[in-house]
Structure 1
């Protein structure tokens, strides 16, 4: 079980609350239609409640948001319906990737790694909802911004946040292995390349605790002082998101 830290690094400073109170996120589980769907639902349920709690506490939004598990499309955020769509099939595909990679050799089971990747993906899609609902100004690619936000939430909110984020990074690396050659569509895509997402996540993980995570930075990167860049990048991004959350904060509604 992933334990949320009692003292969070990323905090929402209650300085100037909006007059609008935030709506709490709701979850909706569609019926599972296969054994694979049932297993996917079990994996989701093992982490979804604490992720929802994290979102409502740290990143409250102005509009009601529904996370629909078992949807036909996604994972994605639909701003028109204020929904995050999260298919069971996606969870099954992630689980099969980790199984196929013999991920248990890392010390984590494929199910545990899938739980971690789901947490990052949920945080990523919720980041889109937070930006849209609270009208947060984003400079650069929004996909990169919410990747960073998702990684920081995991790193700073969970005791083993670096391990959770590392599993998510490894999923990017596995997805990158599917690419045999690049064409124009890869570079036009709103997402950065999977390899770039992998290394950007590793950089934040290292920067959050260089001593603990020193093994994930190669000697070649150390020679060009990439390690010091990652420390600076982690601090800079954390401070930037703290400012944005304070600037665009809304008062959470009390839970019933």
Structure 2
């Protein structure tokens, strides 16, 4: 089980224990209808509570938020209902992707990788909720912004944050394999391409600890000096989100 490293959250705003209006995030589990859903719910329950604690302490929002597991749609943030929706089917699909890729050969089981990817997904969707509820100004694509926020939260909040983020990045790579040819719809999508999300996440992982994560940067990238870029990018993203969280923190 991944444990939150409260003492090691170097780039995150201190918990807002004195906030008067900080709303606690509520978890809602819909009934599991079949064996796959029941397995998905077990995976959800293994990480949901610690993510709930992380969100409430690090990114309190101004409205009550429900994270509903077992929803029909999603993963998504619904601003109209102030809900994050996570279908059990999504968890099952992620698990099957990792199983089909023989992910256990990396030393991480498919179930563990699914937990990791779910943590990143939850942090991503919560980022949308934080931006919407606290009216945070975001320049550029919001999807890219919350991808970065999710990765930073994992890297700086958990003792194995780089491994968690790496599993999430690998999911982007697996999803990218579904695309044989690109058309206009891919480029109009609000999300960056899965391959771009993969490399952007890898870059932040490397930049957070170049010595520990040196193997994830290829020789070609080193020759292009992407290693120094990623160190700078990690610091830039971390400092910028640190400023935003302080600026929009509930007083």
Q: Is TM > 0.5 for Structure 1 vs Structure 2?
A: yes
Q: CA deviation at 1:9?
A: 1.4
Deviations 1:172-222 (A, max 9, x none): 000000000000000000000000000000000000000000000000000
**1:207 matched to which residue of 2?**
207
Deviations 1:85-124 (A, max 9, x none): 0000000000000000000000010000000000000000
So what's the TM-score if we normalise by structure 1?
0.95
- Distance (whole Å) between structure 2 residues aligned to residue 11 and residue 101 of structure 1: 34
**1:94 matched to which residue of 2?**
94
Matches within 5 A, 1:27-106: 27-106=27-106
Matches within 5 A, 1:234-253: 234-251=234-251
Question: Secondary structure of the residue that 2:21 maps to in structure 1?
Answer: strand
Q: CA deviation at 1:6?
A: 2.9
Question: Secondary structure of the residue that 2:181 maps to in structure 1?
Answer: coil
Higher relative contact order (CA 8 A, sep 6+): 1
**1:3 matched to which residue of 2?**
3
- Distance (whole Å) between structure 1 residues aligned to residue 135 and residue 62 of structure 2: 10
Whether contact under 8 Å (2:14, 2:58) holds in the other structure is no
- Aligned residue pair count: 249
- Distance (whole Å) between structure 1 residues aligned to residue 203 and residue 105 of structure 2: 23
- Distance (whole Å) between structure 2 residues aligned to residue 9 and residue 67 of structure 1: 27
So what's the TM-score if we normalise by structure 2?
0.97
Aligned-pair Cα RMSD in Å: 1.3
Q: CA deviation at 1:14?
A: 7.8
Whether contact under 8 Å (1:40, 1:92) holds in the other structure is yes
Give 5+ residue unaligned stretches, structure 1. 252-256
Give 5+ residue unaligned stretches, structure 2. none
- Distance (whole Å) between structure 1 residues aligned to residue 123 and residue 65 of structure 2: 13
Matches within 5 A, 1:125-164: 125-164=125-164
Whether contact under 8 Å (1:14, 1:246) holds in the other structure is no
Question: Secondary structure of the residue that 1:51 maps to in structure 2?
Answer: helix
**1:168 matched to which residue of 2?**
168
- Distance (whole Å) between structure 2 residues aligned to residue 13 and residue 4 of structure 1: 14
Q: CA deviation at 1:12?
A: 2.0
Question: Secondary structure of the residue that 1:21 maps to in structure 2?
Answer: coil
- Distance (whole Å) between structure 2 residues aligned to residue 157 and residue 176 of structure 1: 28
Q: CA deviation at 1:11?
A: 2.8
Question: Secondary structure of the residue that 1:33 maps to in structure 2?
Answer: coil
- Distance (whole Å) between structure 1 residues aligned to residue 210 and residue 12 of structure 2: 22
